[in-house]
Amino acid sequence: MFKKIYFYFLLGLTTEGIFFPALSAQEIQDTIPIHRLNEVEINASPLPSPFKASAPLQILKSSDWSKFNTMQISDAIQFLSGAQVKDYGGIGGLKTISIRNLGANYTNVAYDGIAITDYQTGQIDLGRFFLDHVETITFHIGESDQILQTAQMQSLAGTLNIITPSFLPGDKKKRQLKASLKAGSFGLINPSVSFGKTLNHTFTMHVSADYLKTDGNYPFKQAIGYANDSIAKRKRNNSDVESLKLEANLLGKFENHGKLRFKTYYYRSERGLPSAVIYYNDYMSERLNDRIFFTQASYTQLLNEKIDFQSNAKFNFSFTNYTNNMYSNRYLENLYYQREYYLNATFRYKFSKQWSFSWANDGIYGNFNSNLPNNVFPSRVTWLSAFSGKYETETYNLTAKLLYTSVNDYVRIVKTPVDYHRFSPYIGFSICPIRNIPFRLRGFYKNTFRMPTFGDIYYSIVTNVNLKPENARQYNIGFTGSTGWGDRIPYFSFAVDLYHNRIENKIVAVPVSSIYIWSTQNYDKVNIQGIDMNFKMHISTSSSFLWKINGTYTHQQVLDKTPESPMYNQQIPYTPRHTASGWMELETPWVNFNYTVLYSGKRYYERINRPEYCLPAFSEHGITLSRWFKWKDVSFSVKAGCQNLFNRQYEVIRSYPMQGRTFRIELKIDN
């Protein structure tokens, strides 16, 4: 078992990441037209309509979470249905998002439309993304109806796109300064500042800096034994985080209808890696030191009335230093380096008002290096080509896409590397069956796959280069509507989706002689069926009181269908049958009140559903009070909140206790 320690980080920090890479899975419909958050923040490209979308689309805006007591993106996306967040606890703990239990490797996490990748684990830690300086989060399950996008954005089972604010020339204000300071329990301090300026008629710039520090050592209670024989009062240790994020944006809007967005991002963190809390042993010694740098550019140009094109380019470099001072006489240090070069060009042809087609081509080169003794210097060349067609009227919305993928791996040492080609289709519709009634039926089918990561293929102890990609098929059928009833309930919307997913050739780490000597194999079959429901409602109880209520509910069955397996028909680990979330906002003239709740039913943490291996259901409640003032041109806002109000002691992942009651205050100045 201990020989595996090396590979913790390499394969996703935890064993769950290794053994159930695709087994980890929640949404909110929004038909409100995009509104301007304030005079300077508008979107570079208009957001698609969740109401007309053929596949479930949810949008969260900064106006939503500005009243929450949330800080990390992973906190906010828990209120989306169909998104399951695996949270290892604390600010520094790993947080990944899985779409309808397909696994974190099936989720594209994109920053301003360009995917973030990880060649090592294929999973993106959302813990490092903070909500300051984010304007919108769009969450697509299946596929976006947008066809002017990169081919890579179509390559997985769904997309979480993080959109940062645009400060465009032409805005009334010439400059903008924002500053905020958060402070909270467990030594949290998080100052943040951003500055935007119009440079000339063509260019604007926007820079931001965020610093965060917390000791993170929260107290928790651990129940010992299956029958909770005793309760140990303990304290998380080695959970400290110190991070710095710098970002610079240059936006251009040219007279020839060209738009440029150029971004440079730098992040560094130094943190303890809080590992599983082990009975009778408090010692923790794993530390992580990250540096991520990327620079990306996106250029959109209208060529003529019928044709427009977009080109995206990116360079990414990331460095990770993992250390483990396991014993006084043994210090372990692993270094990991990843580089990626990315180039895309997409052409869109508007055949008529209703018909449009696009052709997207992406070329990606990524490589990986480390000081591991079994390093094979793998690199991967991926070519993606997507042909999309769309037919759109007020009544009908039909989208069809076909993606071609070619993957070639090159390794300096060993055997025959991966050489892989494949077509993957998408087809989706949304129909308004009765004219003038805001009710739509929708459905989609998507076939997608995930490539084994470098960790899967080249860094298991017994390497398996014959590993095949995992195959996933998604089927979805649903309906959505929106209405309002007079002044009392000015707005009501809902969406219900039934889905069925099938995974084949699931990549699983299998022990070959003892649990620390394993190999990855295509092994398992998983069937997922579920229902996602959500609603949004505004209630006005008087001219000055407005209630906003949002709720989501998911029921799902995620079953192991591996033939002849002793686990056949068992619910996959960490997949609750019932999950729900909700938030309620009361706007009053004096103060805004916000209440949030998350609920998760019981789950199993092992592949066999024995009662001993059950994690109890939990619900977590939070309240936030906020208000803003204006003095001359400057607006101030004050926010105070409490998370986990009832100090519920729970775990999302076995042996990773979550924070109890947490307080946070925030001051914001906006000029």
Partner 1 sequence: MKYLNTKTVWSPVFIRHSLLVALMYVPVLFSCEQNEPSTFSNIITPPGVYILNQGSDGKNNAGLSYYSFKTGETSFDIFNGTLGDTGQDMMAYGSKLYITVSKSSVVTVLDLKTGKLLKRISVKKDEQQRTPRYLTYYEGNVYASTYDGNVIRLDTTSLEITGVTPVGSNPEGIAAVNGKLYVANSNGLEFGNPDKTLSVVDIASFKETKRITVGLNPYIVKADPYGDIYLTYLGNFNDISGGFQRVNTFTNEVTDINIPANQQFTIVDDLLYYFGITYNADYTTNCSFGIFNVKTETPVTNQFIADGTIINTAYGIGVDPDNKDVYIADTNYSNPGTVVIFGQDGKKKKTLNVGINACQFIFN
Which residues, numbered 98-137, are part of the site for partner 1 (CB under 8 A)?
none
List the one residue from 318, 453, 480, 521 that touches partner 1 (CB under 8 A): 521
Q: Which residue, 327 or 351, has its beta carbon nearer to partner 1? A: 327
Q: Does 335 bind partner 1 (CB under 8 A)?
A: no
What is the distance between the alpha carbons of residues 194 and 177, in angstroms, rounded to a whole number?
6
Reported as type and span, the H/E element at residue 483 is strand 470-485
Residue that has been written with the tokens 């159930």 in this structure = 20
Q: Does 464 bind partner 1 (CB under 8 A)?
A: yes
Q: Does 648 bind partner 1 (CB under 8 A)?
A: yes
Q: Does 610 bind partner 1 (CB under 8 A)?
A: yes
Q: Does 322 bind partner 1 (CB under 8 A)?
A: no
Q: Which residue, 23 or 400, has its beta carbon nearer to partner 1? A: 23
Tell me the one-letter amino acid at 309: F
Phi, psi (degrees; rounded to nearest 5) at 64: -75, -55
Stretch that binds partner 1, among 36-44, 293-301, 370-378, 396-404 (CB under 8 A): 370-378
Q: Which residue, 175 or 648, has its beta carbon nearer to partner 1? A: 648
Q: Does 437 bind partner 1 (CB under 8 A)?
A: no
Residue that has been written with the tokens 């004096």 in this structure = 590
| Chain centroid to CA 26 | 12
Helix residue ranges per DSSP H, 235-337: none
What the block records as the tokens of 246 is 């710098």
Please name which of 494, 603, 507 lies closest in space to residue 556, comparing C-alpha atoms.
603
Please name which of 95, 114, 112, 97 lies closest in space to residue 155, comparing C-alpha atoms.
114
Nearest approach, Cβ of residue 231 and partner 1 (Å): 12
Nearest approach, Cβ of residue 248 and partner 1 (Å): 40
Number of residues that bind partner 1 (CB under 8 A): 87
Q: Does 640 bind partner 1 (CB under 8 A)?
A: no
Nearest approach, Cβ of residue 318 and partner 1 (Å): 23
Q: Does 181 bind partner 1 (CB under 8 A)?
A: no
Q: Does 275 bind partner 1 (CB under 8 A)?
A: yes
What the block records as the tokens of 610 is 């024995």
The footprint of partner 1 on residues 493-512 (CB under 8 A) is 510-512
List the one residue from 38, 63, 228, 483 that touches partner 1 (CB under 8 A): 228
Q: Does 416 bind partner 1 (CB under 8 A)?
A: no
- What does the chain come to in residues? 671
Nearest approach, Cβ of residue 212 and partner 1 (Å): 27
DSSP strands (E only) in 82-187: 83-87, 95-99, 107-111, 114-116, 136-141, 158-163, 166-167, 175-184
List the one residue from 297, 372, 431, 531 that touches partner 1 (CB under 8 A): 372
Q: Does 4 bind partner 1 (CB under 8 A)?
A: yes
Per-residue burial over 499-532, b if 16 or more Cβ lie within 10 Å, else e, is bebbbbbbbbbbeeeeeeebbbbbebbbbbbbeb
Q: Does 227 bind partner 1 (CB under 8 A)?
A: yes
Cβ atoms < 10 Å from Cβ of 587: 16
According to DSSP, the β-strands at 107-111 and 158-163 are: parallel
Q: Which residue, 39 or 282, has its beta carbon nearer to partner 1? A: 282
Q: Does 591 bind partner 1 (CB under 8 A)?
A: no
356 contacts: CB under 8 Å, gap ≥ 6: 147, 348, 349, 350, 389, 390, 392
